[in-house]
Amino acid sequence: MDIVYIRELEIETIIGIYDWEREQRQVVSLDLEMGTDISLAANSENIENTLDYKAVAKRLIGFIEGSEFFLVEAMAEKISEIVLEEFSVPWLKLRLGKPGAVTGSKDVGVIIERTSK
């Protein structure tokens, strides 16, 4: 299986459990690895024959910007559902971070792996 990836995609959203977090947009950062087969696209050089990372990124940006989650865990699950279902990805690995959420750390968050059902 080949991997198409997106690294350090930063998106502003409402995320967190504290009152101030519900009123102020914060940045979340994601890395996404998506299992796919790139051989047809490699042979044809046609974007229609591959997993279009720009389309995935645009979909996730729109979703995350419009969302209001309390926990990164819940956001990560929903992101994985979108990618698996809407882009017919059989496997993904997602790192979802909240930069600056813990004083003294660069980033905190979750890493999940999921497969299509």
Residues facing 66 on adjacent strands: none
* Residue 94, CA atoms < 13 Å, CB-side half-sphere: 30
Catalytic annotation on 106?
no
DSSP symbols for 27-46: EEEEEEEEEE--HHHHHH--
Query: Which residue among 54, 58, 98, 106 is the active-site one?
Result: 98
The residues annotated with a catalytic role in the active site are 98
